[in-house]
Amino acid sequence: GELGRGAMGVVYKGVDPTLHRIVAIKTLPLSDFEEEEDLGVLKQRFFREAESAGQLNHPNIVAIYDAGEEHDLAYIAMEYLNGENLVQYTHEANRLPLRHALDVVARVASALDYAHGKSVVHRDIKPANIMLLKETNEIKVTDFGIARIISSSKTKTGVVLGTPSYMSPEQVNGKKADGRSDIFSLGIVMYEMLAGQKPFFSEDVTALLYQISHERHPSVREINPRIPPVVEKILDKALAKDVHKRYQRAGQMAKHLRKVVERIDQLKERKESKQ
């Protein structure tokens, strides 16, 4: 059955006949791409990206089992996730408690650190690509490599791919995006989860891209005064416009976030022991 529609195409729920496990199947309708001679290149890129994403083996990254093509449809079979993405937790009325939000971001940062160590950059970190599983509360990052597959191919409908709100200044300016670009995008997700609004927002795409490139984000503590200064410091470092002033490795960001989570736990224990 159909699970939904994503950047690539339709996502289906299926069963692996050999191992009898439920899988999610993401499809890419090759017929949607306008240049016939580009099809070979697109297929090549599709399998290369699926292969590099398939080599990622981390508890916070969705597992990829297989990739192939049937007629004019390319597909990737991956771990089926029973959960919801983070989009609903970016609204002010539905924010996660601070500790939970920081823990989620730390897990995503760890997943990115692992992927970057394998030379795989995500390029499209956003709440819709981060899943919170129902039973275990575990976090899974999805769609590694998908942005790369699509970004340099023009679709017939002329759709602009990539999500402008979560782009890094490098992506906005058409420069090469490395792991530090993912860190910036994760900073935007973190900001949204803590503030209940995006740090950069405009109905006009050009104005939005200008903000990302040139304007400082509003202080998260002005919007949500309950955020500790140490958390704002981590956030500001992730959102540094200058790539050299940003966290250089996602693992550093994860480490700093975990320290704050530990501190929250210690304070809670102390408070409970006094009661």
Residues with a known catalytic role: 124
The CA distance from 187 to 166, in Å, is: 9
Do residues 238 and 182 lie in contact, with contact meaning Cβ atoms separated by under 8 Å?
no
With tokens 């250089």, the residue in question is 248
From residue 47, alpha-carbon distances to 51, 90, 154 in Å are 6, 33, 18
The CA distance from 18 to 21, in Å, is: 8
Taking each helix axis as running N to C, give the angle between helix 250-274 and helix 229-238, from 0 to 180 degrees, rounded to the nearest 10: 170
The token pair that represents 60 in the structure block: 């916070």
Taking each helix axis as running N to C, give the angle between helix 179-195 and helix 250-274, from 0 to 180 degrees, rounded to the nearest 10: 30
